[in-house]
């Protein structure tokens, strides 16, 4: 396997890991839409029923 | 940091002002009820930064609607430093009704006279100095649309925020004023804004009564002896009348109206045609058809079909005949392309050139064959398949945005109310449905404006049937692919008909739900029709930019990751050995696809297809993550699946679908069934999560089942009838049996009788 193939594999793995990681992080932290949708129209409102870790997070929101 | 709340009547320009103050791009529409929840931003336009909170539009501070509850609770509980009450200058008296209620609160208030530019155009004038004198709080002339007066407004609001203000009532001197004073005096130590709470208690406000129980009993004692000569003890009516009387006597003198020759305004004259009882709906259908034609048709104005173009029109320079990437840019031998298609062809040509260039570059650099296939055909093929539809999405939403901003969509809700009431919904439900053409998520959230829970549930369930922007690539690519493969039809017409079928299914489903499981009384539909306005360039561009940004972001995140995973799963076997394109039937993805493929046999893309048919089953499943994934899946797999196809050109979007139709042997009826299944089935993950949040408890699982059953039934009906014709008798019998069952059910239902009697 040459250098080009290794670079392609690394980039592909990084892209998938980043997208899946961000989705999970958003879901857990309740950023954006909370549902992880990142919809352009999302206003981070109560509709998403965001999961919150503790009262501090709730207060921040 | 100082917090300033923006409050006012629906459609008075709160969100336009919020956007102007904070630089946000929140959705603005020329119809009441766009904003259903509060949102925050920071304004740096004044001398110091302030937090600005945009509240939903309200007519009063009584807790009749969810919006009124949100606005009232925010002002009373969060205690902003100042409230900017936005008043529509063109409708002064009615807007000041809410102002009289803000004046009763212990909060600094600044009145912003918005839309003064429209007022000037009409030739009317408001003496803001006189109004300020009479109201007793600062009154500033602004135009949120042009930005006039905004800096002055924010500085006056910051200045007002530093001076505490006690609430005063305009009801002094009325028969109820003594009772108000007595209750307010009693509540003085108990709460802030005693005047406001006292009036609400006397009005019988349910929220106030539950919070201030002792004062409520005291108010009841006073009211037991109260009897107004005109209103008796109907305090709400008395208070409303007193407020309007006060406004007419004290505030209206500040308004100078120009004497008008005609009694009808321009908006009223236009409405005589557009909201005509008989012409209103055909005009709406015609406008929709024209929009779809301009966006999708490959035979603009049907010039080719009518033979207007002549024999030699398809000259090389028009059709780019022989061009590697731009062939058919402006037209083909069948006709001229509509503007939306020309833009799509242009982007297709550019992405095709990029794809070809990168693949060629990798080959020249000596990359392995799989690496070239992965990057060129797999990742870029899938990604560009989706991106190639961006121009058409933007053109379609440009037209929708113009219709919405002009105020026409509010009229459509009004003209459809008559039909909607027969279906069991109010015309108000039309606005979230129309929003569903953009994205199901804000549309589902907007259903909060519907007062009845059952009406809300049925509306949330049918919103995904109004094809969102993400489903547009499926419709367009399948329509284009069908024309290429079967040589029939017009892409614009097919797309328009698919949208229409989605709407018809939604209406039929509403009738079924409102007649059976979600029966309920209808709430009256009262909506203020906004004036027709010329859509602003900035707000239209903001709408489009929002859509464009969202689409591109999604393409380079979820779609890109999906194409990588799909390619990986389609080129590796369960024992982790790499497979060539020819051996792809042994891949992980193919084996999963083949396993679920028989499920789709009744809907036309199952076992009846040949060995590559599993691609359709896989695409339907990947579409559950994001609907764009359906076409991304086709784009990723087309080049590998389709053997013997001319692979010297990039397989994206329409080309990929056309190639797959040829390779899998799917029929025309199967293609239509595939479109409908994807249009009507469970929407994307994000929309499902929103539906879960918006639906009442216990309705979510039934809603998932409803989406699956509806999509499967409609697709099966279309496929079987389209393929064999004779099952039409079976389907008619099924529909007739269902309709009879509903009629019998209703006859036994007393609620229906009550509604009819009413």
Closest residue to A4, CB basis, from B362, B441, B442:
B362
- The domain segmentation of chain A, as residue ranges, is 3-60
Longest Cα–Cα distance in chain B: 97
Check: CB of residue B246 under 8 Å from CB of residue B100.
yes
The confidence score (pLDDT) of residue B645 equals 47
Closest residue to B441, CB basis, from A4, A15, A41:
A41
Residues of A with CB under 8 A from a CB of B: 1-2, 4-5, 8, 12, 15-16, 19-20, 22-23, 33-43, 45-49
Higher pLDDT, B647 or B99: B99
The confidence score (pLDDT) of residue B599 equals 94
Confidence band (pLDDT; 50, 70, 90) for B31?
low
Name the 3-class secondary structure at B3: strand
* Average pLDDT taken over every residue of chain B: 86
The confidence score (pLDDT) of residue B393 equals 86
Average pLDDT over residues B667-676: 93
- Taking CA–CA distances from B41, the nearest residue in chain A reads A43
Using DSSP bridges, classify how beta strands B139-141 and B255-256 pair: parallel, antiparallel or unpaired: unpaired
Residue B519: Cβ-neighbour burial (10 angstroms; 0-12, 13-18, 19+): middle
Q: How many residues does chain A have?
A: 61
Judged by CB atoms closer than 8 Å, whether chains meet at A43 and B37 is answered as yes
**What tokens does B210 get?**
């539950």
The confidence score (pLDDT) of residue B461 equals 95
Give me the interface pTM, i.e. the ipTM. 0.70
Judged by CB atoms closer than 8 Å, whether chains meet at A37 and B690 is answered as yes
B559 to chain A, closest Cα gap in Å: 10
Average pLDDT over residues B471-500: 87
Question: What pLDDT, in 10s, does the model give residues B615-633?
Answer: 999 999 998 888 888 998 9
Using DSSP bridges, classify how beta strands B50-54 and B82-88 pair: parallel, antiparallel or unpaired: unpaired
The confidence score (pLDDT) of residue A29 equals 60
Closest residue to A36, CB basis, from B550, B560, B686:
B686
A60 to chain B, closest Cα gap in Å: 13
The confidence score (pLDDT) of residue A37 equals 43
Calpha distance B227→B757 (Å, rounded): 34
Question: What pLDDT, in 10s, does the model give residues B551-572?
Answer: 888 888 888 999 999 999 988 9
Give the DSSP letter string of B385-397.
HHHTTHHHHHHHH
Share of chain B above pLDDT 90, in %: 29
**What tokens does B710 get?**
């509806």
Residue B725: Cβ-neighbour burial (10 angstroms; 0-12, 13-18, 19+): exposed
Q: Please list the residues that pair with B8 across neighbouring strands.
A: B86
Confidence band (pLDDT; 50, 70, 90) for A46?
very low
Q: B53-62, B236-245, B740-749: lowest mean pLDDT where?
A: B740-749
Judged by CB atoms closer than 8 Å, whether chains meet at A19 and B694 is answered as no
The confidence score (pLDDT) of residue B517 equals 81
Using DSSP bridges, classify how beta strands B39-43 and B50-54 pair: parallel, antiparallel or unpaired: antiparallel
Average pLDDT over residues B358-366: 92
The confidence score (pLDDT) of residue B596 equals 93
Q: Domain B1-261 in CATH: superfamily?
A: P-loop containing nucleotide triphosphate hydrolases (3.40.50.300)
Check: CB of residue B391 under 8 Å from CB of residue B344.
yes
A52 to chain B, closest Cα gap in Å: 15
Closest residue to A47, CB basis, from B445, B549, B554:
B445
Give the DSSP letter string of B258-314.
PP-SSSS-HHHHHHHHHT-TTTHHHHHHHHHHHHHHHHH-SSGGGTTTTT-S-TT-S
> Given a cut of 80, is residue B10 above it in pLDDT?
yes
> Given a cut of 60, is residue B600 above it in pLDDT?
yes
- Radius of gyration in angstroms for the set of CA atoms belonging to chain A, rounded to a whole number: 17
Closest residue to B561, CB basis, from A20, A34, A45:
A20
The confidence score (pLDDT) of residue B750 equals 62
- Give the containing element (helix H, strand E) for B355: helix B339-364
Judged by CB atoms closer than 8 Å, whether chains meet at A15 and B26 is answered as no
Judged by CB atoms closer than 8 Å, whether chains meet at A38 and B553 is answered as yes
- Region of residue B236 (phi > 0: left; psi between -120 and 50: alpha; otherwise: beta): alpha
Among A7, A26, A39, A42, most B C-beta atoms within 10 A, so best to mutate, is A39
Among B441, B443, B547, most A C-beta atoms within 10 A, so best to mutate, is B441
Closest residue to A5, CB basis, from B368, B547, B560:
B368
Give the DSSP letter string of B537-604.
HHHHHHHHHHHHHHHHHHIIIIIHHHHHHHHHHHHB-TT--B--GGGGGGSHHHHHHHHHGGGGGGGT
Judged by CB atoms closer than 8 Å, whether chains meet at B367 and A4 is answered as yes
Question: What pLDDT, in 10s, does the model give residues B94-130?
Answer: 899 999 999 999 999 999 999 998 888 888 899 999 9
Among A2, A47, A50, A61, most B C-beta atoms within 10 A, so best to mutate, is A47
**What tokens does B225 get?**
């002896």
Closest residue to B442, CB basis, from A12, A16, A41:
A41
Question: What pLDDT, in 10s, does the model give residues B265-317?
Answer: 778 888 889 988 889 989 998 998 899 889 888 888 888 778 777 666 655 56
Judged by CB atoms closer than 8 Å, whether chains meet at A36 and B685 is answered as yes
Judged by CB atoms closer than 8 Å, whether chains meet at A5 and B686 is answered as no
| N-terminal to C-terminal alpha carbon distance within chain A | 49
Among B445, B546, B562, B632, most A C-beta atoms within 10 A, so best to mutate, is B445
The confidence score (pLDDT) of residue B231 equals 82
Average pLDDT over residues B162-177: 88
Confidence band (pLDDT; 50, 70, 90) for B643?
low
Check: CB of residue B511 under 8 Å from CB of residue B423.
yes
Higher pLDDT, A61 or B423: B423
Average pLDDT over residues B718-745: 86
Calpha distance B110→B82 (Å, rounded): 7
- Taking CA–CA distances from B548, the nearest residue in chain A reads A40
Confidence band (pLDDT; 50, 70, 90) for B639?
confident
Question: What pLDDT, in 10s, does the model give residues B378-424?
Answer: 889 889 888 888 898 899 889 988 988 888 988 888 888 888 888 88
Confidence band (pLDDT; 50, 70, 90) for B656?
confident
Residues of B with CB under 8 A from a CB of A: 26-27, 37, 39, 362, 365-368, 371, 374-375, 379, 438-439, 441-442, 444-445, 546-547, 549-550, 553-554, 557-558, 560-561, 564-565, 568, 684-687, 689-690, 692-694
DSSP state for residue B338 in the 8-state scheme: P
The confidence score (pLDDT) of residue B42 equals 85
Check: CB of residue B127 under 8 Å from CB of residue B256.
yes
Contacts of B291 (CB under 8 A, 6+ apart): B396, B399, B400
């Amino acid at each position: 396997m040459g250098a080009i193939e290794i670079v392609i594999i690394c980039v592909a793995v990084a892209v998938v890991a980043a997208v899946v990681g961000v989705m999970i992080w958003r879901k857990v932290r309740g950023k954006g839409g909370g549902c992880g949708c990142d919809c352009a129209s999302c206003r981070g409102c109560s509709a998403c029923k965001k999961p919150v870790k503790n009262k501090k997070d709730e207060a921040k929101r | 940091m100082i917090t300033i709340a923006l409050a006012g009547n629906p459609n008075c320009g709160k969100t336009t002002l919020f956007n102007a103050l904070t630089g946000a791009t929140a959705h603005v529409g020329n119809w009441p009820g766009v904003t259903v929840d509060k949102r925050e931003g920071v304004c740096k336009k004044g001398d110091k930064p302030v937090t600005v909170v945009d509240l939903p539009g309200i007519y009063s501070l009584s807790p009749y609607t969810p919006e009124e509850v949100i606005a009232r609770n925010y002002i009373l509980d969060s205690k902003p430093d100042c409230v900017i009450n936005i008043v529509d200058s063109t409708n002064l008296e009615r807007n000041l009704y809410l102002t009289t209620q803000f004046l009763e609160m212990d909060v600094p208030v600044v009145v912003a006279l918005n839309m003064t530019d429209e007022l000037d155009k009409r030739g009317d004038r408001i003496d803001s100095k006189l109004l300020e004198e009479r109201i007793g709080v600062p009154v500033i002339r602004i135009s949120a649309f042009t930005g006039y007066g905004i800096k002055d407004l924010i500085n006056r609001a910051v200045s007002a925020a530093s001076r505490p203000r006690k609430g005063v009532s305009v009801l002094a001197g009325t028969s109820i004023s003594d009772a108000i004073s007595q209750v307010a005096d009693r509540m003085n130590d108990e709460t802030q804004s005693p005047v406001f709470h006292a009036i609400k208690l006397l009005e019988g406000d349910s929220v106030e009564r539950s919070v201030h129980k002792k004062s409520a009993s005291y108010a009841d004692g006073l009211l037991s002896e109260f009897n107004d000569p005109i209103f008796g003890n109907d305090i709400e009516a008395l208070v409303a009348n007193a407020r309007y009387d006060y406004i007419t006597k004290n505030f209206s003198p500040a308004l100078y109206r120009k004497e008008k020759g005609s009694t009808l305004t321009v908006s009223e004259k236009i409405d005589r045609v557009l909201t005509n009882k008989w012409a209103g709906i055909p005009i709406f259908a015609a406008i929709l058809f024209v929009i779809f034609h301009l966006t999708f048709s490959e035979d603009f104005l049907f010039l080719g079909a009518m033979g207007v173009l002549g024999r030699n029109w398809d000259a090389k320079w028009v059709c780019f005949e022989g061009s590697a990437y731009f062939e058919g840019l402006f037209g083909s031998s069948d006709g001229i392309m509509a503007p939306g298609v020309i833009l799509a062809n242009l982007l297709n040509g550019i992405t095709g050139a990029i794809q070809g260039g990168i693949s060629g570059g990798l080959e020249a650099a000596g990359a392995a064959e799989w690496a070239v296939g992965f990057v060129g055909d797999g990742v870029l093929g899938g990604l560009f398949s989706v991106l190639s539809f961006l121009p058409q999405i933007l053109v379609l939403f440009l037209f929708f945005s113009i219709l919405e901003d002009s105020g026409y969509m509010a009229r459509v809700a009004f003209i459809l109310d008559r039909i909607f009431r027969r279906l069991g919904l109010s015309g108000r439900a039309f606005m979230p449905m129309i929003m569903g053409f953009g994205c199901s998520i804000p549309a589902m959230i907007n259903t909060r404006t519907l007062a009845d829970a059952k009406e809300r549930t049925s509306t949330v369930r049918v919103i995904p049937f109004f094809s969102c922007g993400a489903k547009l690539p499926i419709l367009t690519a399948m329509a284009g692919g069908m024309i290429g493969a079967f040589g029939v039809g017009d892409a614009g017409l097919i797309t328009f008909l698919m949208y229409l079928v989605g709407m018809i299914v939604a209406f039929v489903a509403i009738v079924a739900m409102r007649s059976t499981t979600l029966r309920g009384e209808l709430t009256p539909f009262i909506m203020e029709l906004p004036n027709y306005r010329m859509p602003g360039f900035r707000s239209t561009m903001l709408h489009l930019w929002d859509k464009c940004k969202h689409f591109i972001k999604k393409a380079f995140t979820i779609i890109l990751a999906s194409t990588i995973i799909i390619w990986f799963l389609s080129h590796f076997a369960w024992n982790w050995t790499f497979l060539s394109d020819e051996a792809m039937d042994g891949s992980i993805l193919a084996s999963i696809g083949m396993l679920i493929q028989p499920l789709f046999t009744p809907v036309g893309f199952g076992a009846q297809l040949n060995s590559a048919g599993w691609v359709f089953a896989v695409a339907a499943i990947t579409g559950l993550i994001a609907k764009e994934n359906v076409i991304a899946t086709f784009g990723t797999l087309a080049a590998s699946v389709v053997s013997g196809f001319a692979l010297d050109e990039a397989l994206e979007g329409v080309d990929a679908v056309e190639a797959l139709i040829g390779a899998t042997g799917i029929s025309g009826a199967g293609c239509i069934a595939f479109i409908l299944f994807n249009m009507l089935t469970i929407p994307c993950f994000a929309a499902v999560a929103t539906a879960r949040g918006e639906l009442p408890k216990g309705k979510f699982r039934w809603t998932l089942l409803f989406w699956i059953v509806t999509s499967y039934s409609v697709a099966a009906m279309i496929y079987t009838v389209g393929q064999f014709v004779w099952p039409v008798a079976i389907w008619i019998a099924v529909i007739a049996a269902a309709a009879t069952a509903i009629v019998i059910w209703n006859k036994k239902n007393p609620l229906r009788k009550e509604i009819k009697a009413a």
